[in-house]
Amino acid sequence: MGRVLIVAGSDSGGGAGIQADIKTVTALGAYAMTAITALTIQDTLGVHGIVDVPPRAVTEQMAVCLDDIGADCVKTGMLHSPEVVDAVLAGLARPSAPRDLVVDPVMVAKGGASLTTDATVAALRERLVPRARVITPNLPEASVLLGRPVETVAQMDAAAFDLLALGPGAVLLKGGHLAGDLVRDVLVSAEGLVHFDDPRIATRSTHGTGCTLASAIAAGLAQGLDLVTAVRRARAYVRKALATAPGLGQGHGPLNHGHTVRPFS
């Protein structure tokens, strides 16, 4: 079925973070485990507070899952300090850790609140990104990692290749922040470049979209899909989750993560 260890922050509103990750992995038929890096006090209107989890506890959560149940893929989300990045790397250094790692470089919440620091960005860029099979930045995150604006479709291909030069096996650069009726994502790897173009879905229920996409990719890799197929399936899953979103909350609402699940009759 595929085993995914998710290392990320908790979202009390259930739309992003660990909660979205577990829902996504489960909805796609894989098995989810977690190592929680922080507790966010969060709803659809924004982040109201962050409570740290000690870095040692992050490593220990990873260790017990990896040594007992095992994992076919690890996915990281919100890592809010260099110490937590190093804690994750310590977990990934265990003999029981899988080779496949999906890094979603979460830096800014949907409502605009910063979730990281300059030192953490440097730790991600220098120590974790080169370990990844694929990273999944959006355009603001790519701009931070590269130290320059990435603001147009025309800039995306070059930015994706420059991100690849940081050392990951592949980069999925997401273009959803750009205006327009068409949304482009760019996947680059040693095998070349692939564009994914789809019509924009008009909805305010976009909270947790990045977490959901990265976890859907991780589930596919854990289940043995090749990267392009895993990305295609993940994007299709997210698009239907957006199109059927329940419209909850007063701000950026959650997706419909359970659209693959049939209710008991």
Q: Catalytic site residues?
A: 174, 206, 208-211
Cβ contact 71:3 at 8 Å: yes
Nearest in space to 16 (alpha carbons), one of 5, 24, 27, 26: 24
Angstrom distance (rounded) from CA 171 to CA 7: 19
Strand partners, 184: 197
Cβ contact 114:107 at 8 Å: yes
Cβ contact 259:23 at 8 Å: no
Cβ contact 84:39 at 8 Å: no
Cβ contact 2:72 at 8 Å: yes
Joined together, the tokens standing for residue 60 give 């220990």
CA quadruple 130, 207, 84, 150: dihedral sign = positive
Q: Centre a 10 Å sphere on the Cβ of residue 223 and count the other Cβ atoms it contains.
A: 19
First to last CA, the chain: 24
The enclosing H or E element of 86 equals helix 82-92
DSSP letter for 262, please: P
Residue 46 φ then ψ, to 5°: 150, -175
